Amino acid sequence: KLGAMVLKGIYLKPKMGNPPPRIIETSSGMLNSIGLQNVGVEMLIKEKLPYLQKFNTPVIINISGDTIEEYVELARRLGEVSEEMGIAGLEVNISCPNVKKGEIGT
């Protein structure tokens, strides 16, 4: 049995990410540039978390934001549904290397 599932980073609003191609093979491996694509917190709550409940496994959600206020709002919103949706914890992403210099955590 899995101890928990850790989800890909989520923002308040959906992000489209980078246009294809997003993955390229190199002589020493692979590179990717997904661009932080995500469905946004409301779609996560409405569609993704109900689906994940069928696995009866705690969920840890990685939260990302561009401002401190966005992190606070994400934590608040997910806290409202944490017990109902099986959210065991939050992982706060403040150092994503894919974010432009000068933004949160860089």
Evaluate whether 57 touches 7 at the Cβ level (below 8 Å).
no
Q: Is 46 a catalytic residue?
A: no
Indicate which residue of 85, 88, 90, 96 is catalytic.
96
Residue 106: predicted pLDDT: 46
Name every residue whose Cβ is closer than 8 Å to that of residue 71 and which is 6 or more positions away in sequence: 63, 65, 92, 104
What's the pTM? 0.79
pLDDT digits (tens, 9 = 90+) for 11-68: 999 998 888 888 999 999 999 887 788 999 999 999 999 999 999 999 999 999 988 9
Domain boundaries, given as residue ranges, for the chain: 5-92
How many other CB atoms are found less than 10 A from the CB of residue 82? 17
